Amino acid sequence: MALPEVEELIALQELDQRIATQEAAARAIPPLVRGLESRLQSARDAREAARGAHGGLEKTRRLKEGELKQVEEQVKGKQARLWEIKKNEEYSAVLKEIELLKAKRSALEEEILLLFDQIEEASRTVATREGELKERDAEFARLRTAKEAELARLQEEVAASTKERAGRARRIEAGLLQSYTRLVKSRGGLAVVPVKDSSCGGCFVAITPQAHAEVRKGEALLTCANCQRILYWKG
């Protein structure tokens, strides 16, 4: 058994631990939401990159098609000129030019065909990224709503626990409350501890047989000689 004022301190300590747990849970939520937000942003960036790659390929295709058209016109022009040429030398020179242009045309046609394949693949990538973004977006919306509700609930709980704590603290004698507060700060939130196997439940240093007997009787307020925590007997 414990002294009534120690019982009060035990209840206060439980409340303080509960508040600490609730506050820690509340503090963990905003970084979690920010993490989800950055996952969403990554998905958005990936979609933009895919769109950019697709757009770049389309642009190259248009350029190549423009070039092809030019080459085709050049071929036509030179073929028309052939009819007007009288000199043999000049004729073979233009014929040679036409051949070179035709080779260029084939190369461009190949390039354009290849670009069509690449564009098709890039389109599929855009569709995949769009799907992923949609999923992340839905996931984010769902989790953010849930986490915001959880945060609001935790904040309400902290407020209620804090109010309850103020009521409890008022009932405790000022000097004892001061000792408790000091101990909570210096002893990692643990100011009141049970005696376990004849040792302090906080620092685990053995207590004297006399102190043990007195704690057990629960008639006087006893503290651990080593860590100064307030001791009680837990039958």
Q: Any contact of residue 222 with Zn ion (CB under 5 A)?
A: no
3-class SS at 142? helix
46, 172, 203, 206: residue in contact with Zn ion (rule CB under 5 A): 203
Nearer to Zn ion among residue 123 and residue 228 (C-beta): 228
Q: Any contact of residue 207 with Zn ion (CB under 5 A)?
A: no
CB contact set of 31 (below 8 Å; sequence gap of 6+) = none
CB contact set of 82 (below 8 Å; sequence gap of 6+) = 91, 94, 95, 98
Piece of the chain touching Zn ion by CB under 5 A; list 4-12, 79-87, 98-106, 200-208 = 200-208
Q: Any contact of residue 227 with Zn ion (CB under 5 A)?
A: yes
10, 133, 200, 222: residue in contact with Zn ion (rule CB under 5 A): 200
The least CB distance from residue 32 to Zn ion, in Å, is: 37
3-class SS at 196? strand
The least CB distance from residue 192 to Zn ion, in Å, is: 11
Query: How many angstroms separate the CA atoms of 179 and 192, rounded?
Result: 11
CA distances for 155 relative to 26, 62, 103, angstroms: 7, 59, 75
- Candidates 135, 130, 138; CA nearest to 47 is 130
Q: Any contact of residue 43 with Zn ion (CB under 5 A)?
A: no
Q: Any contact of residue 202 with Zn ion (CB under 5 A)?
A: yes
Nearer to Zn ion among residue 76 and residue 196 (C-beta): 196
Mark out the alpha helices in the chain (DSSP H runs): 4-82, 88-170, 174-186, 209-217
Piece of the chain touching Zn ion by CB under 5 A; list 83-91, 124-132, 133-141, 220-228 = 220-228
Piece of the chain touching Zn ion by CB under 5 A; list 96-104, 138-146, 208-216, 217-225 = 217-225
Contact 192, 32 (CB under 8 A): no
- Residue numbers at the binding site for Zn ion (CB under 5 A): 200, 202-203, 224, 226-227
